[in-house]
Structure 1
């Protein structure tokens, strides 16, 4: 059986789907990966995938480029002749599904997150909803990463009820992200892991840090993640540099392995506006780290308030600062208990094995149907 996997970056496939890809290859599937060429594309080929380059800009919408993407994907699908196509991220979900529909190829889509477009009531939001509604008429299966996103799509009649199912994000490799012996830092250390765009609550984090510093809280405040000033909601490089120069935060840059940074932190923070299932929180919880996140879809499924961390109000730097101060003031045994609870939650609900098995079951149904 020939399977095509389509994402907006090769990095995304390598970092979040590689165990699934390896499982497919081990089971005898012929796996074709379709994504723009980047530094991680060669890892896919080395693992046994047949890789196909595609031009795809994940930033914003451009009608001319998006129309060209449909044509490009159509040509690739026609060449590969896959038995089924798995789409992840917004543009593959929409435009890849339309290309597959023309060729009558079955598709399984994964709604990894809705972003802020669904939180607004404007022309861009209306267009996005219309595109989803039209494209998803042709989807044979649509996985959602949290029940709120699933309900929203059903309420707006964007997808057929019989096509939907839930998966716990991309899942987490429990053997890769493991707890280390608990040690509290002399100076309590907060870490935000995120691309530097406003949707992730980076500005609220900075405001909270300033409030905590002005009130005399002696802690370390770190950010790990790529700058993306070209993104529509990206934070300008000079702004980030000002934060660094003023000592507001420690900027850790980027990394291919977040584990050492998570292990050295006391608490992971993500004040995001909305998520599918945030990978960084899964990694943190699997590593037995307490978490502070916003009480929004995606985040509030990973974090149970006062069980494995604290939930804060959306876009509220005062409440975020209060929760951070409260976390830093907890005794070591309470912090350790939060971490242990998070690990337990990951083992019960978010193991990568659960995700892989869901996909394998879906593929088996298609194999039997064909």
Structure 2
């Protein structure tokens, strides 16, 4: 059986969906990765996966350019003729579902992690696009041969109540999963608990991720005379209008507020050197990857009571700490609390690890994803029946 995974960046496919593709490949299926060109595309070959670059600009609003993208997408799908197309992000879900009809792809899974810029921003551009995107989603996502996968119950309720898709076509799978064998609590000497506290924010550098609040909290903690290191990992996202610029981050570094690492390949290695994962997000998250990686690594988590974030930190003071959105002072106070109470720091990290094992282990998430594939493919009786039994 053949699968195509379609996303708006090769980075997303490599960092979030490689494990699912490899599971399918081990089961004897063919998986093709499809995305715009990027630096991660060539890495798939080392894993025995084929990657097809697609001419696509995810931030484009040019009608001619978008028509050309759809033309190329239909051509690729007609050539590949997968049994199932799995689309990721809102734009790819709409375009992929639309193209699949023309290419006569028998089954489509659309995965949307969070509501994205169009639904969360109050900018005029986002407000202008919102009715159009809603119309396109209603027209493309409700096919009887497709299912929509969302990462948290809040998004499922929002999609259903907005009439974007019939509720019976929605499935909820918490997060894209984390490799709990690769991400594990580091083994430290007893002196580690008395080290200088290191707090990490790892994310795309979007303002809605709470970047400004993180920096402002660093300034407050510094003003209060605490010796805490604030570490920022991630790069600007030129395709998103709400991206923080590299120039702005360098100003914070020059002011001595944060240490900026840029893109980090070895996230398990980095997480073994810090104590706290902070994500003061007011972005409409799916389930943030950085939080579940931090949880699997046994770090204390600080986040907000927002959709997606609350799926990881379910109760303040139990499996993490919650702060109000856009409240740098509350974030700073939580960080100082953990600096002073290292026993609480350890307890929160232990419970976060337990929750990661129970709810976010990628083996659980991948199996639930495969179950969605099986649900769509099981009525089919003509395409590779021998292989279908491995799903």
Report what 2:47 is aligned to.
47
Alignment of 1:238-277 (within 5 A): 238-273=247-282, 274-277=284-287
TM-score by length of 1: 0.94
| CA distance in 1 between partners of 2:203 and 2:85 (Å) | 29
User: Is the CA contact 2:178–2:296 (under 8 Å) kept in the aligned structure 1?
Assistant: yes
After superposition, what is the alpha-carbon deviation per residue over 1:277-335, rounded to whole angstroms, capped at 9, x for unaligned?
Answer: 100111000000001111110111111221121111112222222222222222x2221
Aligned to 1:233: 242
Q: Any residues of structure 2 matched to 1:189-208 within 5 Å, and which?
A: 189-208=198-217
Among residues 141, 149, 152, which one is paired with 2:158 in the alignment?
A: 152
CA gap 1:235/1:158 in 2 versus in 1, 3 angstroms: same
- 2:333 maps to 1:333: no
Q: Distance in 2 between matches of 1:329 and 1:125?
A: 46
Cα distance per residue 1:100-119 (max 9 Å; x no partner): 12233220011111134323
2:109 alignment partner, SS class:
strand
The equivalent position to 1:365 in structure 2, one of 334, 352, 375, is: 375
**Whole-Å separation in 2 of the counterparts to 1:240 and 1:280:** 19
**Structure 2 vs 1, CA of residues 65 and 307 (structure 1 numbering), >3 Å: closer, same or farther?**
farther
2:81 aligned residue: 81
Equivalent residue number for residue 38 of structure 2: 38
Partner-residue secondary structure (3-state), 1:222: strand
Cα distance in 2 for partners of 1:322, 1:63 equals 49
From 317, 320, 343, the equivalent of 2:331 is 320
Alpha-carbon distance in 1 for matches of 2:3, 2:363:
19
2:130 & 2:310 partners in 1: Cα distance?
24
**What is the distance in 1 between the residues matched to 2:40 and 2:183?**
21
Contact 2:280/2:304 (8 A) holds in 1: yes
In structure 2, how many angstroms separate the alpha carbons of the residues matched to 1:79 and 1:341?
48
Q: How far, CA to CA, are the matches of 1:158 and 1:68 in structure 2?
A: 26
SS, match of residue 302 in structure 1: coil
The equivalent residue for 1:294 is: 304
Match of 1:110 in 2: 111
Where structure 1 has 5 or more consecutive residues not aligned to the other structure, the ranges are: none
Residue of structure 2 aligned with 1:211, choices 201, 204, 220:
220
Q: Where does the alignment leave 5 or more consecutive residues of structure 2 unmatched?
A: 381-391
Instruction: Compute the TM-score of the two structures, normalised by the length of structure 2.
Output: 0.89
Per the alignment, in what secondary structure is the counterpart of residue 301 of structure 1? coil
Cα-Cα RMSD = 1.8
Q: Distance in 1 between matches of 2:118 and 2:327?
A: 20
> Kindly tell me: are residues 39 and 283 of structure 1, through their superposed partners in 2, closer, same or farther at Cα, counting changes over 3 Å?
same
* 2:129 counterpart residue number: 124
Q: CA deviation at 1:61?
A: 4.0
Matched, 1:306 2:317: yes
CA distance in 2, matches of 1:172, 1:112: 15
Q: Is the 8 A contact 1:11 1:38 kept in 2?
A: yes
Q: Contact conserved, 1:87 with 1:110, CA < 8 A, in 2?
A: yes
Aligned residues: 369
Bigger mean CA deviation after superposition, 254-263 or 111-120: 111-120
Render the CA deviation track for 1:211-270: whole Å, top value 9, x for unaligned: 221222221111011133564112222221111111011112221111122111111111
Cα pair 1:116 1:199 within 8 Å, conserved: no
Question: Which of 269, 284, 289 is matched with 1:279 structurally?
Answer: 289
Q: Distance in 1 between matches of 2:62 and 2:227?
A: 46
2:386 corresponds to? none
Q: Are the aligned partners of 2:142 and 2:169 in contact in 1 as well (CA < 8 Å)? A: no
Q: 1:284 touches 1:291 (CA, 8 Å); kept in 2? A: yes
1:134-145 equivalences in 2 (<5 Å): 134-138=139-143, 140-145=146-151
